[in-house]
């Protein structure tokens, strides 16, 4: 955890709290109790668990230090995720076996804890409020992460159903599709590469500059050789060219571990997609549909992203290159709370304008950077220190957010991270080249 902004007014803080907490419930609203208990793989969690865990977080890290007793002390074992120092936990792969507490009981748990948090904020003096604010900010950022996970996890669960059900109601689905109708089937422009001089650049962030996670600290200098970054994400049409040229069977395009992964798992297309002649059909939160050639290709592993980049005579950017290019407004992207009823829209085709596009929203962008500590990084004391630092091994950094990410959650220094084989997240590809076009 890091220092947040100077203490805000209570009304503003309470409004932010309610806004984030309410969005979680709106995202869960289209789901039945049967939907909410589904866990389709060990890496995913049931919707009901996400709703409970984010509530347990506030109860544990905000209310408990204030001396507020737990709603139900038994909940800690089933709602604790990976905070080993806080006691025993129910096994993650077995969260889908927890039929109780019920969805209604979790709703009541959320209602009671929300009331206690708001009551504590109203009762705190200025000194205590200054202590609480960073924990509230962390809890809200944590819940926003779980809002995206709630959607990616139920997406995977619904994809296992032969009926290919839609996450949203018909009316919400029609409005969502109407908003971007034609975008996904627009004609994509050729990739243009935007040049950067490189040199000594500064990335990361420091305390006092607004909320951020500890893994974004500290700001530090990195030397970059001159490079170019693609002006948009790789599209479905470009993926088709890779697949039709035998890309999945060409070992020279792949990292060794990646080609082993492709052969072991029989990978022939991104997750949630299948080929039907020349068409690529995808399953999404709005059901099944043909994907347009101009849409970003998504749900690819790091291995696939690296191989596709090689096929296109490029490479993936480093996270320092990506952050150096990310100078725009992170709130202007395509995010989960852009669409009707806060329902996620599918990733859209890049619109025409100059410079590097689609840096924020649409799809998380794999980088070639391993997830590791920045120079001078220190793990915070206490259980909060288990949030990020202990995962800095065997993972790749992703940047930019996706159309399932809450708008206010994103910033240029944000570091997401997943293992190289991950595909159930909304992952996409941006190309980079060292000056001269060589893949290095």
pLDDT at 178 over 60: no
CATH class of 172-434: alpha beta
Q: What is the pLDDT of residue 169?
A: 62
Q: What is the pLDDT of residue 83?
A: 87
Q: What is the pLDDT of residue 250?
A: 98
CATH class of 10-163: mainly alpha
Q: How far apart are CA 60 and CA 71, in angstroms?
A: 11
Cβ–Cβ under 8 Å, residues 168 and 32: no
- Identify the H or E element spanning 132: helix 126-159
pLDDT at 176 over 70: no
pLDDT tens, residue by residue, 311-328: 999 999 999 999 999 987
Residue limits of CATH 3.90.1580.10 in the chain: 172-434
Q: How far apart are CA 397 and CA 380, in angstroms?
A: 21
Q: What is the pLDDT of residue 177?
A: 40
Least confident interval from 93-107, 137-151, 213-227, 334-348 = 334-348
**What's the order of all strands across the beta sheet hosting 279-284?**
273-276, 279-284, 287-290
Q: What is the pLDDT of residue 327?
A: 80
User: Token pair for residue 142?
Assistant: 């944590």
pTM for this predicted structure: 0.92
Sorting pLDDT into bands at 50, 70 and 90, what band is 353?
low
Sorting pLDDT into bands at 50, 70 and 90, what band is 84?
confident
Residue limits of CATH 1.20.120 in the chain: 10-163
Least confident interval from 13-22, 99-108, 171-180, 308-317 = 171-180
Of 145, 175, 103, nearest to 343 by C-alpha is 175
Q: What is the pLDDT of residue 171?
A: 46
Q: What is the pLDDT of residue 132?
A: 93
Q: What is the pLDDT of residue 347?
A: 73
Q: How far apart are CA 319 and CA 326, in angstroms?
A: 10
Sorting pLDDT into bands at 50, 70 and 90, what band is 432?
very high
pLDDT at 390 over 90: no
Query: How far lies 350's CA from each of 188, 190, 236, 284, 332, in Å?
Result: 8, 11, 12, 19, 13
Cβ–Cβ under 8 Å, residues 223 and 199: yes
pLDDT tens, residue by residue, 23-81: 999 999 999 999 999 999 999 999 999 999 999 999 999 999 999 999 999 999 999 99
Q: What is the pLDDT of residue 189?
A: 84
Sorting pLDDT into bands at 50, 70 and 90, what band is 4?
very low
Q: How far apart are CA 385 and CA 359, in angstroms?
A: 29
> Which 3 state secondary structure label does DSSP give 235?
strand
pLDDT at 175 over 60: no
Sorting pLDDT into bands at 50, 70 and 90, what band is 437?
very low
For the chain, the distance separating the N- and C-terminal CA atoms, rounded to the nearest angstrom, is 35
């Amino acid at each position: 955890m890091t220092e947040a902004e100077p203490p805000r007014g209570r009304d503003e803080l309470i409004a932010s709290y309610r806004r984030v907490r309410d969005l979680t419930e709106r995202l869960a609203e289209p789901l039945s109790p049967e939907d909410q208990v589904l866990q389709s793989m060990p890496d995913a969690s049931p919707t009901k668990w996400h709703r409970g865990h984010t509530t347990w977080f506030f109860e544990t890290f905000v209310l408990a230090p204030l001396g507020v007793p737990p709603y139900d002390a038994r909940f800690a074992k089933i709602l604790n995720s990976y905070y080993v120092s806080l006691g025993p936990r129910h096994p993650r792969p077995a969260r889908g076996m927890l039929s109780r507490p019920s969805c209604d009981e979790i709703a009541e748990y959320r209602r009671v804890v929300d009331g206690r948090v708001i009551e504590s904020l109203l009762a705190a003096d200025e000194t205590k409020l200054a202590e609480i604010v960073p924990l509230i900010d962390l809890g809200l950022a944590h819940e926003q992460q779980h809002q995206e996970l709630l959607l990616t996890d139920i997406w995977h669960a619904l994809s296992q159903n032969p009926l290919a059900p839609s996450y949203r109601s018909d009316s919400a689905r029609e409005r969502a599709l109407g908003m971007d109708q034609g975008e996904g089937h627009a004609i994509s422009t050729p990739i243009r590469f935007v040049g950067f001089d490189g040199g000594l650049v500064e990335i990361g962030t420091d305390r006092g500059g607004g909320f951020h996670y500890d893994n974004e600290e500290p700001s530090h200098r990195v030397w970059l050789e001159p490079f170019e970054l693609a002006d948009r994400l790789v599209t479905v049409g470009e993926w088709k060219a890779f697949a039709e040229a035998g890309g999945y069977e060409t070992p020279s395009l792949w990292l060794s571990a990646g080609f082993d992964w492709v052969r072991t798992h029989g990978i022939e297309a991104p997750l949630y997609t299948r080929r039907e002649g020349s068409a690529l059909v995808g399953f999404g939160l709005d059901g099944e549909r043909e994907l347009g050639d101009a849409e970003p290709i998504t749900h690819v592993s790091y291995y696939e992203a690296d191989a596709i980049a090689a096929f296109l005579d490029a490479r993936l950017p480093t996270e320092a290159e990506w952050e150096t290019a990310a100078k725009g407004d992170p709130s202007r992207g395509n995010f989960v709370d852009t669409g009707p009823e806060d329902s996620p829209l599918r990733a859209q085709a890049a619109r025409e304008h100059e410079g590097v596009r689609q840096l924020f929203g649409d799809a998380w962008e794999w980088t070639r950077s391993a997830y590791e500590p920045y120079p001078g990084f220190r793990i915070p004391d206490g259980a909060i220190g288990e949030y990020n630092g202990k995962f800095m091994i065997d993972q790749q950094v992703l940047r930019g957010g996706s159309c399932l990410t809450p708008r206010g959650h994103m910033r240029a220094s944000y570091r997401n991270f997943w293992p190289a084989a991950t595909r159930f997240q909304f992952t996409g590809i941006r190309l980079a080249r060292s000056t001269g076009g060589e893949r290095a």
